[in-house]
Structure 1
Amino acid sequence: MNVAVILVAVFFAGMGVAALVKPALIWAPFGVAPTTPDARNEVRAVYGGFGLAIAALLIAAESATADFRDGVLVAVAVALGGMAAGRLLGAVADPKPLLRWPGFFFLVEAALAALLLSAR
Protein backbone atom coordinates (compact mmCIF):
# COMPACT_ATOMS: atom_id res chain seq x y z
CA MET A 1 0.00 0.00 0.00
CA ASN A 2 1.21 3.47 -0.89
CA VAL A 3 1.84 5.71 2.13
CA ALA A 4 0.60 8.83 0.31
CA VAL A 5 -2.71 7.19 -0.54
CA ILE A 6 -3.12 5.93 3.02
CA LEU A 7 -2.38 9.41 4.38
CA VAL A 8 -5.10 10.95 2.22
CA ALA A 9 -7.51 8.16 3.18
CA VAL A 10 -6.81 8.82 6.87
CA PHE A 11 -7.50 12.52 6.34
CA PHE A 12 -10.88 11.78 4.76
CA ALA A 13 -11.73 9.13 7.37
CA GLY A 14 -10.88 11.55 10.18
CA MET A 15 -13.03 14.24 8.65
CA GLY A 16 -15.84 11.75 8.14
CA VAL A 17 -15.82 10.38 11.68
CA ALA A 18 -15.57 13.88 13.18
CA ALA A 19 -18.52 15.09 11.10
CA LEU A 20 -20.70 12.14 12.03
CA VAL A 21 -19.90 12.26 15.74
CA LYS A 22 -19.67 16.02 16.30
CA PRO A 23 -20.92 18.06 13.33
CA ALA A 24 -20.20 21.39 15.04
CA LEU A 25 -16.48 20.56 15.08
CA ILE A 26 -16.30 20.72 11.28
CA TRP A 27 -17.74 24.20 10.87
CA ALA A 28 -16.37 25.77 14.08
CA PRO A 29 -13.09 27.04 12.55
CA PHE A 30 -15.17 29.07 10.08
CA GLY A 31 -17.40 30.73 12.67
CA VAL A 32 -20.47 28.71 11.70
CA ALA A 33 -22.51 26.51 14.00
CA PRO A 34 -24.93 23.86 12.71
CA THR A 35 -27.70 24.81 15.13
CA THR A 36 -30.61 22.99 13.51
CA PRO A 37 -31.18 19.30 12.86
CA ASP A 38 -31.18 20.02 9.11
CA ALA A 39 -27.78 21.73 9.32
CA ARG A 40 -26.29 18.88 11.37
CA ASN A 41 -27.70 16.38 8.89
CA GLU A 42 -26.03 18.31 6.05
CA VAL A 43 -22.66 18.26 7.82
CA ARG A 44 -23.00 14.54 8.54
CA ALA A 45 -23.90 13.81 4.92
CA VAL A 46 -21.45 16.04 3.04
CA TYR A 47 -18.46 15.82 5.37
CA GLY A 48 -19.23 12.58 7.19
CA GLY A 49 -20.65 10.22 4.62
CA PHE A 50 -18.62 11.65 1.77
CA GLY A 51 -15.40 11.58 3.77
CA LEU A 52 -15.84 7.94 4.79
CA ALA A 53 -16.84 6.95 1.24
CA ILE A 54 -13.74 8.57 -0.24
CA ALA A 55 -11.52 6.96 2.40
CA ALA A 56 -13.01 3.54 1.63
CA LEU A 57 -12.61 4.12 -2.12
CA LEU A 58 -8.95 5.05 -1.73
CA ILE A 59 -8.26 1.95 0.37
CA ALA A 60 -10.14 -0.28 -2.08
CA ALA A 61 -8.26 1.25 -5.01
CA GLU A 62 -4.95 0.14 -3.52
CA SER A 63 -5.80 -3.50 -4.26
CA ALA A 64 -7.59 -2.90 -7.57
CA THR A 65 -6.32 -2.94 -11.13
CA ALA A 66 -3.81 -0.26 -12.09
CA ASP A 67 -6.30 1.52 -14.35
CA PHE A 68 -9.01 1.63 -11.66
CA ARG A 69 -6.48 2.79 -9.05
CA ASP A 70 -5.20 5.58 -11.30
CA GLY A 71 -8.75 6.68 -12.05
CA VAL A 72 -9.61 6.87 -8.37
CA LEU A 73 -6.44 8.78 -7.51
CA VAL A 74 -6.98 11.29 -10.31
CA ALA A 75 -10.67 11.76 -9.45
CA VAL A 76 -9.97 12.39 -5.77
CA ALA A 77 -7.01 14.64 -6.60
CA VAL A 78 -9.22 16.68 -8.95
CA ALA A 79 -11.88 16.99 -6.23
CA LEU A 80 -9.27 18.21 -3.73
CA GLY A 81 -7.86 20.58 -6.35
CA GLY A 82 -11.33 21.93 -6.97
CA MET A 83 -11.75 22.62 -3.28
CA ALA A 84 -8.42 24.44 -3.17
CA ALA A 85 -9.27 26.41 -6.31
CA GLY A 86 -12.61 27.39 -4.82
CA ARG A 87 -10.79 28.82 -1.82
CA LEU A 88 -8.50 30.84 -4.10
CA LEU A 89 -11.44 32.16 -6.10
CA GLY A 90 -13.19 33.02 -2.85
CA ALA A 91 -10.11 34.99 -1.83
CA VAL A 92 -10.69 37.33 -4.76
CA ALA A 93 -13.91 38.50 -3.08
CA ASP A 94 -12.74 38.08 0.53
CA PRO A 95 -8.93 37.93 0.76
CA LYS A 96 -8.55 37.95 4.55
CA PRO A 97 -9.89 34.41 5.17
CA LEU A 98 -6.85 32.92 3.43
CA LEU A 99 -4.81 34.21 6.35
CA ARG A 100 -6.85 32.03 8.74
CA TRP A 101 -8.37 28.52 8.64
CA PRO A 102 -9.43 28.71 4.98
CA GLY A 103 -5.79 29.33 4.03
CA PHE A 104 -4.67 26.38 6.12
CA PHE A 105 -7.21 24.10 4.45
CA PHE A 106 -6.22 25.48 1.03
CA LEU A 107 -2.66 24.28 1.71
CA VAL A 108 -3.87 20.90 3.02
CA GLU A 109 -6.14 20.31 0.01
CA ALA A 110 -3.46 21.33 -2.49
CA ALA A 111 -0.86 19.14 -0.76
CA LEU A 112 -3.15 16.11 -0.61
CA ALA A 113 -4.03 16.52 -4.30
CA ALA A 114 -0.34 16.64 -5.17
CA LEU A 115 0.33 13.58 -2.99
CA LEU A 116 -2.31 11.56 -4.83
CA LEU A 117 -1.02 12.61 -8.23
CA SER A 118 2.53 11.70 -7.24
CA ALA A 119 1.32 8.27 -6.05
CA ARG A 120 0.16 7.33 -9.56
Structure 2
Amino acid sequence: MVLDRECVLCKRAEESMEHLFIQCHYAEAIWERLLRWINAYSNMPKSWTEFIQWCTQNGKEKTGRAQIFKWILAEGTYGLWNERNKRIFEEKSKMIDEVVKEIAYMTIARFPNRIINVIKYRKI
Protein backbone atom coordinates (compact mmCIF):
# COMPACT_ATOMS: atom_id res chain seq x y z
CA MET A 1 0.00 0.00 0.00
CA VAL A 2 1.43 3.36 -1.06
CA LEU A 3 0.50 6.39 1.01
CA ASP A 4 0.67 9.91 -0.36
CA ARG A 5 2.13 12.14 2.35
CA GLU A 6 1.25 15.38 0.56
CA CYS A 7 -1.18 17.64 2.41
CA VAL A 8 -4.57 17.25 0.72
CA LEU A 9 -5.64 20.75 1.78
CA CYS A 10 -2.82 22.82 0.27
CA LYS A 11 -0.77 20.31 -1.76
CA ARG A 12 2.34 22.30 -0.88
CA ALA A 13 3.98 20.29 1.91
CA GLU A 14 4.20 16.92 3.53
CA GLU A 15 1.32 16.38 5.91
CA SER A 16 2.03 16.29 9.62
CA MET A 17 -0.11 17.19 12.60
CA GLU A 18 1.73 20.50 12.90
CA HIS A 19 1.33 21.28 9.23
CA LEU A 20 -2.32 20.23 8.99
CA PHE A 21 -3.57 22.28 11.93
CA ILE A 22 -1.33 25.35 12.02
CA GLN A 23 1.08 25.69 9.10
CA CYS A 24 -1.07 24.81 6.10
CA HIS A 25 -2.25 27.96 4.29
CA TYR A 26 -5.77 26.48 4.10
CA ALA A 27 -5.82 25.97 7.90
CA GLU A 28 -4.31 29.42 8.50
CA ALA A 29 -7.10 31.05 6.49
CA ILE A 30 -9.76 29.17 8.42
CA TRP A 31 -8.25 30.03 11.81
CA GLU A 32 -7.83 33.67 10.83
CA ARG A 33 -11.51 33.99 9.83
CA LEU A 34 -12.79 32.15 12.89
CA LEU A 35 -10.62 34.08 15.35
CA ARG A 36 -11.49 37.42 13.79
CA TRP A 37 -15.16 36.45 14.08
CA ILE A 38 -14.80 36.16 17.86
CA ASN A 39 -12.43 39.15 18.12
CA ALA A 40 -9.58 36.95 19.29
CA TYR A 41 -7.24 37.12 16.33
CA SER A 42 -3.55 37.36 16.90
CA ASN A 43 -0.75 35.82 14.90
CA MET A 44 -1.03 32.06 15.01
CA PRO A 45 2.03 30.29 16.37
CA LYS A 46 3.93 28.27 13.78
CA SER A 47 5.14 25.43 15.99
CA TRP A 48 3.05 22.82 17.77
CA THR A 49 4.55 23.64 21.19
CA GLU A 50 3.81 27.35 20.80
CA PHE A 51 0.32 26.54 19.51
CA ILE A 52 -0.48 24.45 22.61
CA GLN A 53 0.83 27.23 24.88
CA TRP A 54 -1.19 29.84 22.95
CA CYS A 55 -4.36 27.73 23.23
CA THR A 56 -3.82 27.18 26.94
CA GLN A 57 -3.24 30.88 27.53
CA ASN A 58 -6.36 31.95 25.61
CA GLY A 59 -8.66 29.28 27.00
CA LYS A 60 -7.65 28.91 30.63
CA GLU A 61 -10.04 31.39 32.21
CA LYS A 62 -13.71 30.87 33.00
CA THR A 63 -14.78 33.97 31.08
CA GLY A 64 -17.23 33.92 28.19
CA ARG A 65 -14.40 34.90 25.85
CA ALA A 66 -12.30 31.91 26.94
CA GLN A 67 -15.31 29.59 26.55
CA ILE A 68 -15.95 30.86 23.04
CA PHE A 69 -12.27 30.44 22.20
CA LYS A 70 -12.32 26.80 23.37
CA TRP A 71 -15.44 26.02 21.36
CA ILE A 72 -13.99 27.63 18.25
CA LEU A 73 -10.76 25.69 18.79
CA ALA A 74 -12.63 22.38 19.10
CA GLU A 75 -14.97 23.01 16.17
CA GLY A 76 -12.15 24.39 14.01
CA THR A 77 -9.96 21.37 14.66
CA TYR A 78 -12.83 19.01 13.90
CA GLY A 79 -13.76 20.98 10.78
CA LEU A 80 -10.22 20.81 9.41
CA TRP A 81 -9.96 17.08 10.14
CA ASN A 82 -13.36 16.45 8.58
CA GLU A 83 -12.45 18.40 5.42
CA ARG A 84 -9.18 16.47 5.15
CA ASN A 85 -10.99 13.14 5.44
CA LYS A 86 -13.68 14.08 2.91
CA ARG A 87 -10.98 14.93 0.40
CA ILE A 88 -9.19 11.64 0.98
CA PHE A 89 -12.08 9.19 1.35
CA GLU A 90 -14.93 10.80 -0.60
CA GLU A 91 -12.96 12.89 -3.11
CA LYS A 92 -15.07 15.93 -2.17
CA SER A 93 -13.73 19.33 -1.24
CA LYS A 94 -15.06 22.65 -0.05
CA MET A 95 -13.84 26.19 -0.36
CA ILE A 96 -12.52 27.93 2.76
CA ASP A 97 -15.67 30.07 3.05
CA GLU A 98 -17.89 27.00 3.14
CA VAL A 99 -15.81 25.30 5.83
CA VAL A 100 -15.68 28.46 7.96
CA LYS A 101 -19.47 28.90 7.76
CA GLU A 102 -20.07 25.26 8.69
CA ILE A 103 -17.76 25.59 11.69
CA ALA A 104 -19.46 28.83 12.73
CA TYR A 105 -22.94 27.31 12.42
CA MET A 106 -21.97 24.26 14.45
CA THR A 107 -20.36 26.46 17.09
CA ILE A 108 -23.45 28.65 17.41
CA ALA A 109 -25.68 25.56 17.62
CA ARG A 110 -23.69 24.27 20.60
CA PHE A 111 -23.28 27.54 22.52
CA PRO A 112 -25.28 28.18 25.65
CA ASN A 113 -27.84 30.93 24.99
CA ARG A 114 -26.03 33.49 27.17
CA ILE A 115 -22.97 33.37 24.90
CA ILE A 116 -24.71 33.16 21.54
CA ASN A 117 -25.60 36.85 21.65
CA VAL A 118 -21.93 37.79 21.89
CA ILE A 119 -21.10 36.47 18.41
CA LYS A 120 -24.35 35.60 16.70
CA TYR A 121 -24.55 38.70 14.52
CA ARG A 122 -20.88 39.22 13.79
CA LYS A 123 -19.78 38.75 10.22
CA ILE A 124 -18.05 35.42 9.69
More relative contact order, 1 or 2 (CA 8 Å, 6+ apart): 1
- TM-score tier after normalising by the smaller chain length: 0.3 to 0.5
Q: Which has the higher helix share?
A: 1
TM-score (norm 1): 0.34
TM-score (norm 2): 0.33
